[in-house]
Every structure is written in C-alpha cells, then in structure tokens.
Amino acid sequence: MDLLLAEKVLLGLFVAIVTAITVSKLRGKRLRLPPGPLTIPIFGNWLQVGDDLNHRNLSDLAKKFGDVFLLRMGQRNLVVVSSPDLAKDVLHTQGVEFGSRTRNVVFDIFTGKGQDMVFTVYGEHWRKMRRIMTVPFFTNKVVQQYRYGWEDEIGRVVEDVRNNLAAQKEGVVLRKRLQLMMYNNMYRIMFDRRFESEDDPLFVKLKALNGERSRLAQSFEYNYGDFIPILRPLLRGYLKLCKEVKERRLQLFKDYFLEERKKLASTKGSSGDLKCAIDHILDAQKKGEINEDNVLYIVENINVAAIETTLWSIEWGIAELVNHPHIQAKLRAELDSVLGPGVPITEPDTYKLPYLQAVIKETLRFRMAIPLLVPHMNLHDAKLTGYDIPAESKVLVNAWWLANNPDNWVRPEEFRPERFLAEEARVEANGNDFRYLPFGVGRRSCPGIILALPILGLTLGRLVQNFELLPPPGQDKVDTTEKGGQFSLHILKHSTIVAKPRVF
C-alpha cells in the first residue's frame, strides 16, 4: 500500500517536472528573456544562488551575466539592473512602466496589501498619498520649521555624552542615544511629541515593535514560502507573528498618538496654531481623501523609512570617521575654521561646509542604507534594452554597485570624501548622476532626502565639533561588517565608541 503511494507521488513529481520543463521551453521560445543562470523546475535558480541576495552577491552575478540579468526564484522573476544607463532607463525613461512596487507575503501584511505609500503600485492611490504627505513632511518649509528642534535634540545628545564618564573611558554604544534623537526628530514633525529619555516606557515599546517589524520584514527566513507557493503553509507560524506585530503596532500608533492628537485638536479648536504633520493628514481624512487605515500606514511608513535609514547612515558615518582619524581631524578643522571653535553648527551652516558635505556623500556612497533601492516592479510586460521583462517582475537596481564599480569610480573601495571635492565635484545625492543614487531618482525616489541631508550634517557636525571619536581601548578600529536584508544594509555590530570631550 505504502509502495503504491510512493509510486503515485513519484509519478506526480515526474509529470510536474516534465510539464514545468515544457512550459518553460515554450515560454523561452516566445520571449527573449535577460540572461541568467540555468533554471531547474520548481526551484528556478533559488538552490544555486541561495537566499542572501545582497548587493555584493548581486554585483558578482552581474560580472558573470551582465548589466541586466534574470533570476527565477521559485515562481518569482527577479530582474537585476547594474549599469547607470539601464538604471536611467528603469527609473527615468520608463519610470512609469517600472514605477510600481512588488511586495511579498510579509510586506503584504505590514502594508495592508499596499494601503500605504512606499509599497503601493504606481497609480491613483500612490499619487494621492504622495501629494498628501508632501506638504507636512517634504518641503523646505518643514525643514525651516523643525530645524530648531533637530538642533535642540543633537544639543541634548552632546550634553548627555559629555556627562557620561563611561563615554570618555571605556566607550558607549552611541547609536542608542542617537536612536532616541532620531525618534524625537521625526515625532516632533509628526505629532509635536518627544520622548524624554531612553527609558520612557512608550519609547521602549515603540522601539521594540518597530525593531521587530524590521527584523521580520528584512529577514531571508521566509523566502521559501514566498518563492514556492505550495510551501506557504509551512510559513503559517511566521506570518501569524507578523500579523500580531502589525496589529500591536498600528494599535499603539492609534491609541497613544492619533487619538491624543485628535483630542488635543478638539479642545483647542481650529485656532491658527502651527500644525504638525498628522493634523494635515487627519484633515485629508476628514475631507474623505483617505481612510483611517491609510493614516495609520502613513505613520507606519515614516517610522520605518525615515528613522531607521537615517540612523543607519549616521551610524556608518561615525564608524568611518572613527576608522579614518585623519578624515575626522580634517572635518573638525573645517568646522573650527568656518564656524569658530565651539560655535555649534546649525542647519544653515551645513551648506557652508564643503568637506562635511563630502563626508556625508562618501558615507552614502560607500555604505548605502538601501543599496538595492526599494524593489520596483513592472505591472505589465515590458522591454529593457531589447529583452522581454515579464509582467510583475521584481526589479532591483543595484545602486551600491553603480556607486562602487571600479569601471566608473577611482578606487571606489577607499573611503575618500575628497573625491567629491575633486573628480566627482559635480555629483549630488539628488540623482543628478546615474552612477550615484543613494536616494533613487525619478517618480519613486526618496522624498525624505530634504530632511535626511540636514539631519546627517547637523548630527555628524556637532559630534565631531564636540568630541574626539575613537575606538574602544585596545582596538584600533571598530568592526564594520555589514548586515544586508531584503533591501537594507546596516552595520552588523553596533559600535562602542569612546567620545573624548573637547575643551574650548
């Protein structure tokens, strides 16, 4: 009896494999697909290339298969673009065709199947969400309104670190204090709220839930169930956990922030007070432009897209400055000579400091927080440099490789800000050069660049003005091993940094 069953299973598998081969042959004949490794039925290339499709592994595959290649990850098509010209085609020339986003089983949960802005397909909903978010978040007026808040927050960081004896001796994980600062920078804009200390219970809860959301979303653990739908039942436990985290998070945003703000607005009435971002978003809800879920997903998007990316970049910047003391000293000399020793840098000063700007650009080039951009997608069949790109392919632009390819940059493996004052002096972070796209470019590019750059300048500037940043005793460098995720890149081990206060 058991033998009969085994025979049936084997026969079933045989038929499935033959069918898959025949179908893929027929498809292959009709379509001119980009090159890529040979696929095997059901698994595609997954068993060959593995789960960890980070920017470095994808750069190695580009060397083998070319500037555009296709991987079949189970049932999913993954197209990887690795040259400035093709990046231009995807993000600019055919920006509409490739302007959608893919989600996977996990991102479907965290974004309510694209009810947010970051992960929704290109269309009416995205346009509306981006328009509604622009005035409260992404204009120079917002920068001018909130820069004093950011200057205050980094001022408090400096004070806390100066008062922390451990920071001067054995060192501290500076990132922890900077995380509180980044939450305050963004929660001031969003809700006109700040958290007093790292122990604030609400901050602790929020940080834990956001951290869990990122871990679950960026992990490679769930790939198998995403790539091969028949394996999805095995993911039940993982997806259940995602759903729980998502519910608890949105509930927290609602109970502690949205409802509070609504109450405040109703007691104050509609006086001419300065509004914070959420008041604008709630106005859009009142007008019927978006619903309450959309409001919550906007809060969700800002928590992830704004806070973590900027914090990772600050963390990378500090690590590189510690590991390159001569660059740190040169930056300090610029701050001292342009502003005067001990005169705290403010937002307008950041534009008067070319070396500071170069350090920021180099950090974003060498250690890109989103090295593959946020995955793009073509809703319909498309063409790319003569190849057929089947509808709903996940399209990754390997922005890290564009900015680190020795064919396009002088000694890209060196952390050398001077390049942005010499041979690359005209290159900006806003996408004016397709070799350098830390914030993407085109329709789906990062609207937060307008906030991120001054926050980076203020934070790194104030730290270097006030402290000599060093590795902990007994170490001559901090560990900069990278940890990649589905499309993120951060430092594997949060560095312990010694911060020796300067005396003015």
Binding-site residue numbers for heme are: 446
Assess 377 for contact with ligand HEM (CB under 6 A).
no
- The residue of the chain with the least Cβ separation from ligand HEM equals 448
Helix-, strand-, coil-residue percentages of the chain, each rounded to 5: 55, 10, 35
Rounded CA separation 43/362 (Å): 39
Element (H, E) at 384: strand 382-384
The 90-119 contact track toward ligand HEM, x by CB under 6 A, reads: ---------------------------xx-
Pick 297 or 467: Cβ nearer ligand HEM: 297
- Of 309, 405, 488, 496, the one binding ligand HEM (CB under 6 A) is 309
Q: What is the 3-state secondary structure of 299-327?
A: HHHHHHHHHHHHHHHHHHHHHHHHHCHHH
Of residues 68, 88, 93, 90, the one with CA closest to residue 79: 68
Q: What is the 3-state secondary structure of 75-139?
A: CEEEEEECCHHHHHHHHHHCCCCCEEECCCHHHHHHCCCCCCCCCCCCCHHHHHHHHHHHHHHCC
Residue 28 beta carbon to ligand HEM: minimum distance, rounded to whole angstroms: 29
Assess 445 for contact with ligand HEM (CB under 6 A).
yes
Residues 34 to 73 in contact with ligand HEM, rule: CB under 6 A: none
- Of 195, 227, 434, 439, the one binding ligand HEM (CB under 6 A) is 439
How many CB atoms are closer than 10 A to CB 351? 12
How many CB atoms are closer than 10 A to CB 418? 15
Rounded CA separation 355/306 (Å): 25
Phi, psi of 346 (to 5 degrees): -120, 175
**Do the beta carbons of residue 65 and residue 36 sit within 8 Å?**
yes
Rounded CA separation 405/241 (Å): 39
Q: Which listed range, 104-112, 224-232, 301-309, 329-337, lies at the site for ligand HEM (CB under 6 A)?
A: 301-309
Residue 101 beta carbon to ligand HEM: minimum distance, rounded to whole angstroms: 7
Rounded CA separation 353/468 (Å): 19
Rounded CA separation 411/401 (Å): 13
Angle ∠(145,429,64) on CA atoms, nearest 5: 145
Residue 300 beta carbon to ligand HEM: minimum distance, rounded to whole angstroms: 11
Assess 305 for contact with ligand HEM (CB under 6 A).
yes
Assess 125 for contact with ligand HEM (CB under 6 A).
no
Pick 77 or 111: Cβ nearer ligand HEM: 111
Rounded CA separation 270/480 (Å): 50
Pick 45 or 82: Cβ nearer ligand HEM: 82
Rounded CA separation 412/366 (Å): 8
Rounded CA separation 282/297 (Å): 13
The 312-351 contact track toward ligand HEM, x by CB under 6 A, reads: -x--------------------------------------
- DSSP state, residue 298: H
Residue 442 beta carbon to ligand HEM: minimum distance, rounded to whole angstroms: 7
Dump strand ranges (E) for 141-247. Answer: none
Pick 46 or 107: Cβ nearer ligand HEM: 107
Written as one letter, the residue type at 187 is: Y
Assess 448 for contact with ligand HEM (CB under 6 A).
yes
Angle ∠(289,108,218) on CA atoms, nearest 5: 120
Q: Which listed range, 215-223, 286-294, 319-327, 437-445, lies at the site for ligand HEM (CB under 6 A)?
A: 437-445
Residues 126 to 185 in contact with ligand HEM, rule: CB under 6 A: 130, 137
Q: Which listed range, 285-293, 344-352, 436-444, 474-482, lies at the site for ligand HEM (CB under 6 A)?
A: 436-444
Pick 485 or 501: Cβ nearer ligand HEM: 485
Residue 313 beta carbon to ligand HEM: minimum distance, rounded to whole angstroms: 4
Of residues 97, 105, 104, 34, the one with CA closest to residue 71: 34
Residue 316 beta carbon to ligand HEM: minimum distance, rounded to whole angstroms: 10
Residue 382 beta carbon to ligand HEM: minimum distance, rounded to whole angstroms: 16
Angle ∠(310,312,314) on CA atoms, nearest 5: 70
Residue 214 beta carbon to ligand HEM: minimum distance, rounded to whole angstroms: 14
Residue 501 beta carbon to ligand HEM: minimum distance, rounded to whole angstroms: 27
Number of residues binding to ligand HEM, judged by CB under 6 A: 25
- Of 178, 370, 464, 478, the one binding ligand HEM (CB under 6 A) is 370
Residue 228 beta carbon to ligand HEM: minimum distance, rounded to whole angstroms: 26
The 261-300 contact track toward ligand HEM, x by CB under 6 A, reads: ----------------------------------------
Q: Which residues are annotated as a binding site?
A: 446
Give residues in contact with ligand HEM (CB under 6 A): 117-118, 130, 137, 301-302, 305-306, 309-310, 313, 369-370, 373-374, 438-440, 444-448, 451-452
